[in-house]
Structure 1
């Protein structure tokens, strides 16, 4: 049995850190390795690559695979899934940009160092 360090907690990789091999990612996502490769061929997911060329998937990739599985289960074809994911990504980027603009507008303006009239 493996021992834990005296810190107690086992470190968990960040959701954007690509650490899972293709077989592990497929198992965690509940899909076959060949299906995962098919999704990659269709551009639905793009895993990071190690220096040796091995696919590495992140927690964010696993979330995306769950979304792909949901859409596929609802009867959406791969082209449709690609378009939906693209629109969802665009929407998320626009929402983040809007939120940043709102936050910037709420901040008091920085002094310019110029003397006023």
Structure 2
């Protein structure tokens, strides 16, 4: 039901009432980029449940004495953290799938890191070409 929370269904007066704020405050937060509601025909703002929750969080932080610029930065950092957590999960799943596919495989991959930082895939037993100062990393089979 996460999609329901993202559906832009509330007009500004309803969203303001749900967030216990004045509609003008919602307009100000929109101008500052703290909350970005969807726009319908005629540029009418439409807020989702997620937007209302965010407005409540902005209000809580404001009551705790955090400036609007501080709130904007906090929200920005929270979004970055969420994006990074999502990327880590994605990479972990990819790594698990790669490891699962290689179990028992005699052709495990070996990587070399060159002087310029490039990464080169090598076959087992293969050496980097030329007189590079490459470092070869591998994990012994268990």
2:67 maps to which of 77, 88, 109: 77
Asked if 1:59 is matched to 2:49, the reply is yes
Asked if 1:22 is matched to 2:7, the reply is no
- TM-score, normalized by length of structure 1? 0.78
* Number of equivalences: 98
Larger Rg: 2
5+ unaligned residues in a row in structure 2: which ranges?
103-142
Q: State the 1:59 CA deviation.
A: 1.2
Structure with more contact order per residue of length (Cα contacts < 8 Å, sep ≥ 6): 1
* Structure with greater strand percent: 2
Q: State the 1:62 CA deviation.
A: 1.1
Q: State the 1:88 CA deviation.
A: 0.6
Q: Distance in 1 between matches of 2:101 and 2:30?
A: 46
5+ unaligned residues in a row in structure 1: which ranges?
1-12, 111-117
Superposed CA deviations along residues 25-71 of structure 1, whole A, max 9, x for unmatched, are: 01111111111111111111111011221100011111211111111
Give the match for residue 90 of structure 2.
Answer: 100
Instruction: Write out the 4+ residue segments of structure 1 that deviate beyond 6 Å after TM superposition.
Output: none
- TM-score, normalized by length of structure 2? 0.65
